[in-house]
Amino acid sequence: MRISELETFVVGNPPPGFGGKYFIFLKLTTDDGIEGIGEVYTATFGPHVVTQMIEDVCGRHVIGADPFRIERLWRDVYGQGYSGRPDISLVGVLSGIEMACWDIVGKAVEKPVYELLGGLVHERLRGYTYLYPEPGDTTNVYFDADLAAKRAAEYLALGHTALKFDPAGSYSTFDPRQPSLEELERSERYVRQVRAAVGDSCDLLFGTHGQFTPAGAIRLAQRLEQYDPLWFEEPTPPEIPEEMAKVARGTSIPIATGERLTTKYEFSRVLETGAAAILQLNLGRVGGILEAKKIAGMAEAHYAQIAPHLYCGPVVGAANIQLSACSPNFLVLEGIRDWGGFHAEILKTPIEWENGYVVPSKAAGLGVELDEAVAAAHPYDGDDLHLTPKYSVDAWL
């Protein structure tokens, strides 16, 4: 069996657009007709530049390769350009390719990927979601504590048992910084009211985007500790885990990080420095499924847990599910509300969610199939980045 064809899809995510402006999918086909899908989560270039990267990598390394030889293919893509280090865009491309290879392998042997990586450990997977705006909102749920408390109670009634929010404000291109008194007060009030709305029935996940200095993050954490969040997410930028470890030592709230990290090499530093107790690897960026399984194993040896990150499309979500289902140290899985909306529409069979939990599919491979007709009906022709800061240093001058 050899990989013979590549096709890419840049799919616009229609309103409300939760999960980003677009999703980048790829399909590999073997010479005997087995198809595998993957998704690339690369936010550093426009999407059509990323598809050119996918085509370049596949032309050099993937077309003609044996999809079962995933470890060898990974090393060739990672190392032949003589960078030999975690390159977030290259490894994002590699992640989608590797994911598609696992989909092919699972279909070839008629097994879900989790059965090939140690077997099913968890029959169902606890999930979490952000608090999202809804039609008719007159204020911003990301900042309005009263609306957030109301929305949290609504989500609790739907079955959610863990909720995330980031009222501290957006990151900028000139972080890290000290939080302002306004940000400190708004964050504390927000968490206090959400906790009052859900009681002990929901875990609260406090998100930031690496925008604070260690000292500033500790100031914020000390205000939040009394409300017992499950985690304080990425309190400092991702480059220097030693600095994030100062925050971990300065608060009782578990630190979670990893959505911007890639490969076992970067995650090993997080574990060795004690920067975080919860790893939020995104399988569309981290290096794919096997690389993520290695990271989960390293985390297990440090008594750390995994909480796969999702702010992209449902193919990465499906890969996250495969990893989570076979990992003893799985904690919680990010979803976008109940995995409905466009995340369901773009798949032939939606991911199964019930009462706050995802049920891993028993279908072969990743357990999902891209609906190519829906993809074709929602092309994305722009050149925006997947994410951009809401303000730059000019906002602080």
> Angle CA(297)–CA(304)–CA(306) in degrees, nearest 5?
70
61 is catalytic: no
Dist CA 188 CA 167 (whole Å)? 9
Q: Which of 160, 309, 343, 386 is catalytic?
A: 309
Cis peptide bond prior to 16, omega within 30° of 0 = yes
How far is 267 from 261, CA to CA, in rounded Å? 7
Alpha-carbon span 134 to 16, nearest angstrom: 9
Looking at 61, 160, 209, 386, which residue is catalytic?
209
The pair of structure tokens assigned to 12 is: 């616009």
- Catalytic residue list: 209, 309
